[in-house]
A = this chain, B = another copy of it.
Amino acid sequence: MTRGPSTGMLFTDQYQLTMAQLYWKHELHERPVQFDYFFRRYPDYGEHRAGYAVFAGLGWLLDWMDELEFTAADIEVLRGQGRFDEGFLGWLEHGGTFGELQLQAVPEGRVVHANAPSVVVTGPLAMAQILESSLLNHLNYQTLIATKASRVDEAARGNTVLEFGLRRGPAIGANAGARAALIGGADFTSNVALSTAVGLDPQGTHAHSMVQLFIAMGEGEIGAFRAYANLYPDECVLLVDTVDTLHSGVPNAIDVFKDLESAGHVPRGIRLDSGDLAYLAVRSAAMLDAAGFPDVNIVLSSDLDELAIWQILTQIEVESPRYGIDAATVANRLVYGVGTRLITSHGDSALGGVYKLVAVKDGSWSPAIKVSDTPEKTPIPGRKRLWRLHDERGLATADVVSGEDEDLQPGAAIVLHHPHREGLQRTFAADEMGAVEELLVPVFDRGVRSDGDPDIETMRLWRRADLDRLDAGVRRLVDPVEYHVSVTSAVHDVTRNLLESVRR
């Protein structure tokens, strides 16, 4: 079982290699440079959009980089293209590793924001360039999915979320998608390989086809349910919508649950996979309650996402009283199986993260800038540090990019400038300020991971802690409040001067 990063150095775009050869020819390949990874806007799903992102994909990127080199077979492939010089190929074969690169990053699982770099890559130009495609590939997709999962988890209000997307996921990328979903908020996944890789128990129920088969053999839906309950008496979740949910599925499940209970087992749940899930959940809950099973879960699945879950909970609140049941007792027993719309980030299926040259060393470091007609597209130039400022309530109030020599400390007022809109600034007074935290930490050094390889549970705790310190307005599903990403006066001045010098 691979952990995902199973291709080598050739998992890249062709132009990275042609540019690397050009740098080698011009003896620029060892020139120290800095590239920043960041995204410019949060996922926008149409009628709703994200106000924050959950950073993911770093661990698998670092695994991919770890001790990776151009193999003899890779070199032979490049030789076969006919456009690479033997000298360059010789250099690639012996010097073409990531051993001289240093990466700083926000730890995986933490909340990150638009325009603030979540990875900073420093090192020799040619290999920093070759890293680009794979870095973007690993980080963009997993951050996209972890962000969607976090929204689904918010909508689910603490109830269990199961990732079910393998069958509609992007080929073998579904493994990365399931991992990102777990980091971002899913509790378990049905994907066996991925569960095994991250040390979680895979989850599942059974399929319609099993019920169909027992019906075809003349044993009916109840026959299928009994067979399943006998084999898995302590984790028995029955899919009740193959024939008729309320007139066949739920009554049959209740019969089987009574047998299970008599035999000393605790029935686990029913699953609804079609129809009006909210209505069916209310009616099923009432039937289960009446039969003496108030603790049996109701697993919902079928094109769920954060809005569908929100709508289901709202409808349950409206509709429960009509059937003499308390809405909270319905809602509290729900479990959400989320497939297609999570693993494809329904509504916005790509994160546009970019990797931009921001500094070049020639003796000393100089900031590099890319001018654009759209000010929002100008990366923040130069060597930098990233800080998160909290206010006196303990809530995060701004992510701030400073120069590499600046040290932001609580207790000193600071002027925060908008990174792109000239003149937009505010002073954050010393007495408003809570904790100040530096976000970028070393994660890759001298060719090996140095991030401690955190497990899924650790990353989830980091995410949860960050969400707890995020304003509810930034977290909300629809029309979230804009979180402040700012630069210090020093960075603001450097940027303005660089832009003026380029324009002259």
**Residues on A facing B (Cβ under 8 Å):** 1-2, 4-8, 10-19, 21-22, 25-26, 28, 33, 35, 57, 60, 73, 77, 81, 83, 125, 129, 132-133, 136-138, 140-142, 164, 166-177, 190-193, 195-196, 201-210, 212-213, 216-217, 227-228, 231-232, 235, 242-243, 274-275, 340-341, 344-346, 349-352, 356-357, 360, 362, 366, 368-373
Q: Is the CB of A242 within 8 A of B370?
A: yes
> When A13-B190, A213-B125, A360-B216 are in contact, do A176 and B168 touch as well, CB less than 8 Å?
no
> When A1-B10, A7-B2, A349-B346 are in contact, do A133 and B167 touch as well, CB less than 8 Å?
yes
Q: Is the CB of A11 within 8 A of B193?
A: yes
Q: Is the CB of A167 within 8 A of B136?
A: yes
List 25 A-B pairs, Cβ < 8 Å: A1-B7, A4-B171, A6-B6, A7-B175, A14-B195, A15-B205, A15-B206, A17-B192, A19-B206, A19-B209, A22-B228, A83-B232, A136-B167, A137-B171, A137-B172, A140-B167, A168-B350, A168-B351, A172-B172, A209-B357, A212-B368, A213-B360, A274-B372, A340-B350, A346-B349
Q: Is the CB of B171 within 8 A of A141?
A: yes
Q: Is the CB of B164 within 8 A of A13?
A: yes
Q: Provide the residues of chain B in CB contact with A174, threshold 8 Å.
A: 137, 173
A14 contacts which of B77, B203, B274, B360 (Cβ < 8 Å)? Answer: B203
> When A8-B1, A18-B204 are in contact, do A26 and B192 touch as well, CB less than 8 Å?
no
> In whole angstroms, how far apart are the Cα atoms of A1 and B8 in the complex?
7
> In whole angstroms, how far apart are the Cα atoms of A235 and B232 in the complex?
64
Q: Nearest 5 A-B pairs (CB), nearest first? A: A173-B173, A15-B204, A171-B176, A170-B170, A170-B173
> When A138-B171, A206-B18, A207-B15 are in contact, do A366 and B192 touch as well, CB less than 8 Å?
no
Q: Is the CB of B351 within 8 A of A213?
A: no
Q: How far is the CB of A339 from chain B (nearest CB, A)?
A: 9
- Specify how many copies of this chain sit in the oligomer: 2
Q: Provide the residues of chain B in CB contact with A227, threshold 8 Å.
A: 22, 25-26
> When A4-B172, A213-B125 are in contact, do A352 and B340 touch as well, CB less than 8 Å?
yes
Q: Is the CB of A213 within 8 A of B368?
A: yes
Q: Which residue of chain B has the shortest Cβ distance to A128 in the bound complex? A: B209
> In whole angstroms, how far apart are the Cα atoms of A170 and B196 in the complex?
21
Q: How far is the CB of A337 from chain B (nearest CB, A)?
A: 11
Q: Provide the residues of chain B in CB contact with A235, threshold 8 Å.
A: 83
